[in-house]
């Protein structure tokens, strides 16, 4: 399961995922925020490009990928009560998604949309429903400080691997892993 966070997050994620072995990491579910139509378009284009490469393309025996959307937990300027409701809604959607797909791997790189998916993955793991290992990649834009979703996942120890892309950040967060830059 690949969570596309919109904009630069999506660009970095697809840049990483392009290097995965498509014949092993399948079937794939791309998750984007409901307000982010562009990430869905990019995921489709990405899979089409993959299908054209011999050996990378998906197995014809079954659907290699599908797409899903979850509502954004909070839009800018929303009131507290309505954001509590929409957060609950986003959480329920993420739970349904994760429990249906039962992913072995959940790839995330922020922003906030990825948190309900990660919490759902944790629950699925605790209940033995899915392996649901979480891999988080902090954005290359972050040199000295983690993003908010990065902080949440790091301190809650939700990720099996927590990648950062700069040595300065790795030095501050010893449980993070530095394995090169995406760009």
Partner 1 sequence: MADQERRVFLTVGTTRFDALVEAVDRAAVAAVLRRRGYTHLTMQIGAAAFQGSRLLPAGAMRGALPDGLVVEWFDYSPSLAAHVAGAALVVSHAGAGSVFEALVAGVPVVAVPNPQLMDDHQAELARKLEGAGVLVAATLGTLEHVLATADFQGLESYVPGDPGGMVAAVDWLMGVGSAAGKK
Which residue ranges make up the site for partner 1 (CB under 8 A)?
A: 7-8, 11, 15-16, 18-21, 24-25, 104-105, 107, 133, 135, 137, 139-145, 160-161, 163, 165-166, 168, 177, 179-183
Of the two residues 145 and 155, which places its CB atom closer to partner 1 in the complex? 145
Q: Let me know if 3 is exposed, middle or buried by CB neighbors in 10 A (0-12, 13-18, 19+).
A: buried
Of the two residues 119 and 135, which places its CB atom closer to partner 1 in the complex? 135
> b/e for 132-151, b at 16 or more Cβ within 10 A?
bebbbbbbbebeeebbebbe
Whole-angstrom distance, CA of residue 139 vs CA of residue 8? 8
Shortest distance in whole angstroms from residue 19 CB to partner 1: 5
- Are 33 and 71 in contact by the 8 Å Cβ rule? The answer is yes
Of the two residues 95 and 176, which places its CB atom closer to partner 1 in the complex? 176
Shortest distance in whole angstroms from residue 20 CB to partner 1: 6
Shortest distance in whole angstroms from residue 151 CB to partner 1: 12
Shortest distance in whole angstroms from residue 94 CB to partner 1: 21
Of the two residues 12 and 93, which places its CB atom closer to partner 1 in the complex? 12
| Residue 136, helix vs strand vs coil | strand
Closest-CA residue to 165 (of 149, 183, 153):
183
Query: Strand (E) positions, 112-171?
Result: 133-137, 161-164
Shortest distance in whole angstroms from residue 84 CB to partner 1: 23
Of the two residues 25 and 99, which places its CB atom closer to partner 1 in the complex? 25
């Amino acid at each position: 399961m690949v969570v596309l966070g919109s904009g630069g997050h999506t660009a970095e994620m697809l840049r990483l995922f392009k290097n995965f072995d498509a014949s092993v990491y399948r079937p794939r579910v791309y998750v984007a925020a409901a307000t982010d139509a562009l990430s869905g378009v990019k995921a489709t284009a990405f899979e089409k490009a993959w299908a054209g490469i011999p050996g990378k393309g998906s197995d014809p025996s079954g659907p290699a990928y599908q797409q899903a959307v979850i509502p954004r937990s909070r839009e800018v300027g929303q009131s507290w009560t309505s954001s509590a409701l929409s957060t609950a809604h986003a959480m329920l959607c993420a739970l349904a998604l994760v429990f249906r797909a039962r992913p072995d791997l959940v790839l995330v790189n922020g922003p906030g949309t990825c948190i309900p998916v990660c919490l759902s993955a944790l629950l699925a793991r605790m209940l033995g429903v899915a392996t649901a290992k979480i891999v988080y990649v902090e954005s290359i834009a972050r040199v000295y400080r983690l993003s908010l979703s990065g902080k949440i996942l790091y301190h809650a120890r939700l990720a099996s691997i927590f990648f950062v892309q700069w040595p300065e950040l790795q030095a501050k967060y010893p449980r993070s892993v530095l394995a090169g830059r995406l760009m």
